[in-house]
A and B are shown apart, each in its own frame.
Chain A
């Protein structure tokens, strides 16, 4: 008997069992119940579970005539009814510990025989569990005259050992891997020791927070240690190969690095540190690695002066974030990011690189023939290599970003406040190194007066002393980060205005509330025109934005009303002459009445855009330039979707979109002006049908009609009709899934074109773990009298274990 150390075997229990059986027999014939309605909730029949905290649960929901007093629960033949909770809806019994082995449960409810099932308890989980998947794919895409062939193999393996260790791998080898590009292969391994430690080697996707690091891939070492209040997260890798740490929205926000990436947490203390490479060095295409000019040496001999082109410097990055607070309610962080190109990572002399020689107006180089391709090694003394600072390609960069952020969550995260501020300095060409204080003195004027313009340099540190932090030279942007007119007794600019309009400053704040079905969000952000983070290169610059949106959820989430307003402009610098702005107002109504009823959506958006120029610019020849932009756009979208059964099961969706943009100026020279006004109407219908015999089809029809400017004083129309029909059907008990589709499109108006295509494919499940997929597609396109074809072929194999 398996119930541990409980008094299931004592004599009192046996008496209780007898009493229960007597009661059961007495009531046996008076209750009419169907045992088939009993639902076994826990443990599942024939399941294997841990013997600790075993819950036996049965649902009698919906059964009539249940009398809890007449229910008897037996485990391995012993009555445990007294240990159970019973009512008319359920029977539950929680047992601390059951011995390992097979167990049987019997439950008597009213008349009829017992409901009986078995399960097995174990002392522990199986010591080793694993599973995996191996996939390979090959594809050939021939689109017009371009052909692309790709093959790759992917291996995923994961498992666990005992209860404390988990591991998994992620490997992909692809023919796209080339030295000319950033890496395409993926090699990753992870091992986790309970919740205490996770170690990733190779490619992984660290997820620290929304801003600091949120799932972008890194390559290197990524470890996470937790112990009580102590947390340590450590990453070392490359941004471009595999690692994309996010420190903050402005500083480093998901750019991939290669190097070291670490995160330490201990109670309210958080430290996140990143060191690695943003870019790996790429020498570039050997045919485009050099440009040249013909020069003359001191002896009057002509030679080729070679300049490097088409390269990418290796970019090293170091970044860190120190934060206080767990983040659940409050967290305050300080962060920095330091990135610098390695000027030694690009080779000056590439012997295998080629040039095509041709003389120019300055003369010719003796011994070289015009039109001949020479390798660099062929040129010998006829070529001289320019120093890096004179190369035609992009100069090496140096970038420093510092920032701070604050996040507060209150009322069970129903109120969320975020704020962040960051400041950057970027040197766009560090060849030649830093300026000295003496060079700084004479940078703007020639007088040696220890002043930079009116700024006193006498107490200013020598920039050369800080070259390890940032190389300061005339290529620094901004060279003077704040308007110096805000300083001194004769200041002409308010200091606060000067700070808030610093060109390399970025800041933002956001408040989100979620009370009583009302979701309100208010956000303000500003990114200066010269703010730059090489680890977060996709940030939109020179933009200030304020937005507020509110969503009301009514009728138990069946009706949603959304309202929003957003203002964007570039009013950041005090020197802005023409303020560009855009105001957007939106309204949305969504009705989701429930099953069997259609879903309705309506969205209206009004956009006003102004570039701040309201006057014509007269030219010297009595004509003028019209750069004014002031437009209004209305955008309406309506959609209705409905699922219904009519012979078969269908989902029908209809969408209408109208975009109408008008020019607010009425005094245009319509013969010479490209009118920004345009209008577009789009209608789409989609019908998806699931048939009783496993066939599934989708029919899609889209009609698009647009009217727009095609040049000064010219307008035109373009109409498109596209339609697709796709079907899929399983054969041989789902072992083979066949798919086929037809698509047709026709355009008329400004461009007359048409295409017709078909596709088909199968997926064949050869056996449970092994499958193959083949897909082919052909499309014939006719445009402007030219006919071109597209052919796509793909094959995939997958084995799971």
Chain B
């Protein structure tokens, strides 16, 4: 069985020789990969190399973690997600971007040495240099970008409004054009339990509640 898998991986790898950018390091449930060239939907296995413009789809309880070859940046996809991984090999680096159609994504991005890691959704574009974040994108509802660590810039592509998001903050970008940043609450990370992300403890928080019982959390961080 193992040899068959190696053979499959070898054949697959030959077909994408020299354009490999990442590797599937963990796969659970139903996960598929679609190559841009042949549009064939194949099950994704751990250890499978990924190349530029590969589309990955996860089923309802699917999960996959992919790692870029150059700097170990990790992207985790949770269930019911659609993501295209892109990367241009340039010397010892890969210029990376993600195109999220929908779903829940958690990413731990290493510093990009002068390049940016671009994350696009139907509603927003985020420019990332080095950070850990989660993205929840629903085309009809909008996106939420929750920063666990680092700094990103989020742009709502309806209005062009941009904002910086720091760790402990969540930016919500909607198809109606609004872009708001609020302090991250546990609700913002709901559904990301399998991605092993959580609000770091190096923060000080307190909650404020309005007359309607809605809670906002104020966060003070160490640099």
Contact = CB atoms under 8 A, between A and B. Distances in A.
Interface string A63-98: 000000000000000000001110101101110100
B189 to A, nearest CB: 11
B181 to A, nearest CB: 14
Nearest to A797: B204
21 contacts: A41-B25, A53-B46, A59-B23, A61-B70, A90-B49, A92-B23, A137-B206, A170-B186, A174-B209, A182-B213, A217-B213, A514-B122, A551-B158, A560-B157, A562-B159, A590-B155, A602-B160, A639-B160, A765-B222, A796-B204, A800-B201
B223 A519 contact: no
Contacts of B13: 85, 87
A42 B222 contact: no
Interface stretch (A11-19, A411-419, A676-684): A411-419
Listed from nearest, the 8 A-B pairs whose CB atoms lie closest are A601-B160, A590-B160, A62-B92, A61-B69, A137-B206, A92-B47, A800-B201, A59-B69
Nearest to B123: A519
Interface in B94-112: 94, 97, 99, 101-102
A730 B223 CA distance: 7
B157 A135 contact: no
B205 A135 contact: yes
A776 B77 CA distance: 43
A48 to B, nearest CB: 13
Interface in B16-63: 17-18, 20, 23, 25-26, 45-47, 49, 61
A303 to B, nearest CB: 38
A512 B139 contact: yes
Interface string A26-57: 00000000000001011000000000010101
Interface in A94-127: 94, 96
Given A41-B67, A55-B25, A87-B17, A560 B160 contact: yes
Nearest to B60: A328
B140 A512 contact: yes
Interface in A533-561: 549, 551, 553, 556-557, 560
Nearest to A734: B222
| Contact size range, A | 35 or more
Interface of B: 2-3, 5-6, 9-10, 13, 17-18, 20, 23, 25-26, 45-47, 49, 61, 67, 69-72, 80, 82, 91-94, 97, 99, 101-102, 114-116, 118, 120, 122-123, 125, 127, 139-141, 153, 155, 157-162, 164, 175, 177, 186-187, 190, 193, 201-207, 209, 211-215, 220-223
Contacts of A592: 125, 127, 155
A779 interface: no
A294 interface: no
B23 A595 contact: no
A385 B102 CA distance: 61
A170 B160 CA distance: 37
A514 B67 CA distance: 28
Contact of B69 (A39, A416, A510, A765): A39
Contact of B206 (A152, A418, A641): A152
Main secondary structure of the interface of A (DSSP, over half): strand
Interface in A178-224: 181-184, 186, 195, 205, 207, 210, 215-217
Contacts of B94: 61
A171 to B, nearest CB: 11
A595 B6 CA distance: 39
Nearest to B1: A96
Given A87-B13, A551-B158, A589-B160, 16 more contacts: A41-B67, A57-B23, A59-B69, A62-B93, A93-B47, A96-B2, A154-B206, A176-B209, A512-B175, A519-B123, A556-B97, A557-B125, A560-B125, A592-B125, A595-B116, A734-B223
A798 interface: yes
Given A256-B212, A413-B139, A765-B202, A562 B222 contact: no
A171 B70 CA distance: 44
Contacts of A688: 164
Contacts of A182: 211, 213
Contacts of A641: 153, 162
A694 interface: yes
B25 A57 contact: yes
B223 A94 contact: no
A594 interface: yes
Interface string A560-577: 101000000000000000
A172 interface: yes
A543 to B, nearest CB: 16
B6 A85 contact: yes
Given A210-B141, A589-B160, A798-B204, A85 B9 contact: yes
A763 B118 CA distance: 33
A51 B175 CA distance: 44
A422 interface: no
Contacts of A745: none
Interface in A376-431: 412-414, 416, 418
A602 to B, nearest CB: 7
Given A94-B5, A765-B202, A651 B115 contact: no
A443 B219 CA distance: 61
A310 to B, nearest CB: 16
B124 to A, nearest CB: 10
A20 interface: no
A278 interface: no
B220 A90 contact: no
Contacts of A186: 215
A521 B160 contact: no
Interface in A634-671: 639, 641, 651
A776 B90 CA distance: 50
A708 interface: no
Contact of A773 (B91, B157, B204): B204
Contacts of A210: 140-141
A241 B10 CA distance: 59
A413 B190 contact: no
Nearest to A170: B186
A93 B2 CA distance: 9
A757 interface: no
Nearest to A415: B139
Given A512-B175, A601-B161, A413 B101 contact: yes
B92 A90 contact: no
B132 to A, nearest CB: 15
A156 B189 CA distance: 15
B139 A514 contact: yes
A551 B23 contact: no
Contacts of A55: 25-26, 46-47
Contacts of A800: 201
Contacts of A154: 206-207
A33 B170 CA distance: 44
Nearest to B5: A94
Interface string A286-298: 0000000000000
B192 to A, nearest CB: 13
B223 A728 contact: yes
Contacts of A602: 160
Of B71, B82, B140, B162, chain A has the most CB atoms within 10 Å of the CB of B140
Contact of A737 (B17, B67, B223): B223
Nearest to B27: A53
A154 B218 CA distance: 13
A474 interface: no
A83 B6 contact: yes
Contacts of B186: 156, 170
B85 to A, nearest CB: 14
Contacts of B45: 94
A59 B70 contact: yes
B209 A184 contact: yes
A240 B67 contact: no
Given A696-B223, A763-B222, A166 B193 contact: yes
Contact of A588 (B61, B102, B158, B222): B158
Given A59-B69, A773-B220, A195 B125 contact: no
